[in-house]
Structure 1
Amino acid sequence: MKTRLLLASLATATAMSFALPALAADSAQDFVDKAAAGGMFEVDSSKVAETKAQDQSVKDFAHKMIDHHGAANAKLETIAGEQKLTVPKELDAKHKGDVDTLQNGKDPIDTPYVQMQRDAHSDAVKLFESYAKDGDNAQLKTFAQETVPTLKMHQEMIEKIASKIGDKSAATTSTTPAVATTDTANPSAPVPGANSFTEDQAKDRIQDAGFSDVSKLAKDDQGIWRGQANKGGKTTAVALDYQGNVVAGTN
């Protein structure tokens, strides 16, 4: 009887020892599936944005995403291979739909791309933080722990860009032209033209529009004064055109 009980116990223990890795692989596979899908989306969507976006800061961010997530994707694929896990080769339906929206959308695509990046990085930070804390695969857990700081850095970057784009759409404009013009509404972007403002006058005009700490003013080849200024505790690019329009968030 004792022998039978001992053999039964050993059989149960053996079964458990083989069952545990299977459970761990299922959980690890779920992480790989989600992390890989998110990483591929970052690269594919950013390749579109690097070509079609108009704001230079959006283009620069997209370029970083291609580099950073491309490297992370390669590292994840290597670890997954070592752990006998499968890495998806194609985007899931949702992410593919988002990339198609950017690819087929009319220019500019800056705003939808930025919002997609905000959502994607929010999801990625949650996924990686959760697995870094409770992950059941040591190598993937380390990968998640090492990747979280970069994802949070990306998140901070895209939030700043989103704020900049928001500031641009709500930019302050002046109603008094520097040069006689037709009776048209002032635009939301600086208008090229011969600018009669001196540097001191340009600085005064920008300060009158509610900005402070105006610096690095220089007139470009389109007659637009460009520099940096502070408003609401944030430093932003600012421009003044020949009509006297003051526009924030321009390059």
Structure 2
Amino acid sequence: MKARTLLAPLAWAIVSLALPAAAAENAQTFVNKAAAGGMFEVDSSKLAQERAKEQQVKDFAGKMIADHSAANETLKKLAAEQKLQVPAQLDATQKSDIEKLQNTTTGFDQPYVEMQRSAHADAVNLFQSYAKEGDNPSLKAFAAETLPTLKMHQDMIEKIAAADAGMPAVKSASTPKPPAPVPGANSFTESQAKNRIQDAGYTDISSLAKDGQGIWRGQAKKDGKSISVALDYQGNVFAGQQ
């Protein structure tokens, strides 16, 4: 009985020491990515309001500045309450994208739209994942509350892309799935393509490569079976495609 009494506090001490470190790391990672993403939205959209030609792109940029500025302020307050650090600058990729936009003298709209498509795909994936599995209750609630707005932004930018023949479009929820991958300019990065395929229920995704038609192709597993997979520029996932 005495041994059990001594061991119980010791075991709890070990657990209590381990848990905060893991939780803080996960929460901090979310804050880092969410804050940097929000800053990128605002900075790139300020450039768009100055340089974009199409009014719908300017209008979209204005909404991004308003919505993401508000979300950024909320995130800062939550992070401060949780004693987490908020990054003061963009990551290397985001800085590079901003520089590309700053150096664009003609045809600003398309690269901005493509960057917004990619950024919102990443943001929706980040917030959706943290809202479901996040380790910090306050930040988890923030992610869940912000997610619908991010999805609305994503739908807006996809419609803008679809309205311009020069900008490849991701299908909307109401668009029927085609029988085979649709060739076209594919703006998904390898990481985004992998996430899309995973969301469709596949695991162990490997050997992803974009072919000459803009279709990501690779190998994956589903129901314990290895199978070839494909992802087209609209976001459609296909199995058994060569």
| TM-score with structure 1 setting the length | 0.64
Match of 2:143 in 1: 144
Mark the CA change 1:165 to 1:24 in structure 2 (over 3 Å): closer, same or farther.
same
Match of 2:8 in 1: 9
Query: What is the one-letter code of the residue matched to 2:26?
Result: S
Structure 2 counterparts to residues 154-169 of structure 1, below 5 A: 154-166=153-165
Match of 2:85 in 1: 86
Structure 2 counterparts to residues 128-139 of structure 1, below 5 A: 128-139=127-138
Mapped contact 1:118–1:155 kept (Cα < 8 A) = yes
Mapped contact 1:53–1:107 kept (Cα < 8 A) = no
Match of 2:22 in 1: 23
Match of 1:179 in 2: none
Match of 2:63 in 1: 64
Match of 1:43 in 2: 42
Aligned length: 168
Query: What is the one-letter code of the residue matched to 2:91?
Result: D
| 1:7, distance to aligned residue in structure 2 (A) | 1.5
Match of 1:99 in 2: 98
Query: What is the one-letter code of the residue matched to 1:106?
Result: T
Mark the CA change 1:51 to 1:31 in structure 2 (over 3 Å): closer, same or farther.
same
Query: What is the one-letter code of the residue matched to 1:113?
Result: Y
| 1:3, distance to aligned residue in structure 2 (A) | 2.5
Q: Could you tell me which runs of 5 or more consecutive residues in structure 2 were left unpaired when the two chains were aligned.
A: 169-242
The separation in 1 between residues aligned to 2:106 and 2:73, in whole angstroms, is 31
Match of 2:51 in 1: 52
Query: What is the one-letter code of the residue matched to 2:12?
Result: A
| TM-score with structure 2 setting the length | 0.67
Partner-residue secondary structure (3-state), 1:117: helix
| 1:5, distance to aligned residue in structure 2 (A) | 4.0
The separation in 2 between residues aligned to 1:37 and 1:123, in whole angstroms, is 12
| 1:6, distance to aligned residue in structure 2 (A) | 2.2
| 1:108, distance to aligned residue in structure 2 (A) | 2.8
The separation in 2 between residues aligned to 1:56 and 1:42, in whole angstroms, is 18
* Deviation readout 1:165-220 (Å, 9 max, x if unpaired): 22799xxxxxxxxxxxxxxxxxxxxxxxxxxxxxxxxxxxxxxxxxxxxxxxxxxx
Q: Give the % identical residues.
A: 58
The separation in 1 between residues aligned to 2:117 and 2:85, in whole angstroms, is 27
* Deviation readout 1:217-242 (Å, 9 max, x if unpaired): xxxxxxxxxxxxxxxxxxxxxxxxxx
Match of 2:186 in 1: none
Mapped contact 2:117–2:158 kept (Cα < 8 A) = yes
The separation in 1 between residues aligned to 2:5 and 2:39, in whole angstroms, is 51
| 1:104, distance to aligned residue in structure 2 (A) | 1.0
Query: Higher Cα Rg: structure 1 or 2?
Result: 1
Mark the CA change 1:82 to 1:168 in structure 2 (over 3 Å): closer, same or farther.
closer
Match of 1:123 in 2: 122
Mapped contact 2:44–2:98 kept (Cα < 8 A) = yes
Mapped contact 1:39–1:69 kept (Cα < 8 A) = yes
The separation in 1 between residues aligned to 2:55 and 2:28, in whole angstroms, is 37
* Deviation readout 1:134-175 (Å, 9 max, x if unpaired): 111000000000001000100110011111122799xxxxxx
Mapped contact 2:36–2:91 kept (Cα < 8 A) = yes
Query: What is the one-letter code of the residue matched to 2:67?
Result: H
Q: Could you tell me which runs of 5 or more consecutive residues in structure 1 were left unpaired when the two chains were aligned.
A: 170-251
Mapped contact 1:52–1:107 kept (Cα < 8 A) = no
Mark the CA change 1:153 to 1:168 in structure 2 (over 3 Å): closer, same or farther.
closer
Partner-residue secondary structure (3-state), 1:166: coil
The separation in 2 between residues aligned to 1:138 and 1:119, in whole angstroms, is 28
The separation in 2 between residues aligned to 1:168 and 1:118, in whole angstroms, is 10
Mark the CA change 1:19 to 1:3 in structure 2 (over 3 Å): closer, same or farther.
same
Partner-residue secondary structure (3-state), 1:85: coil
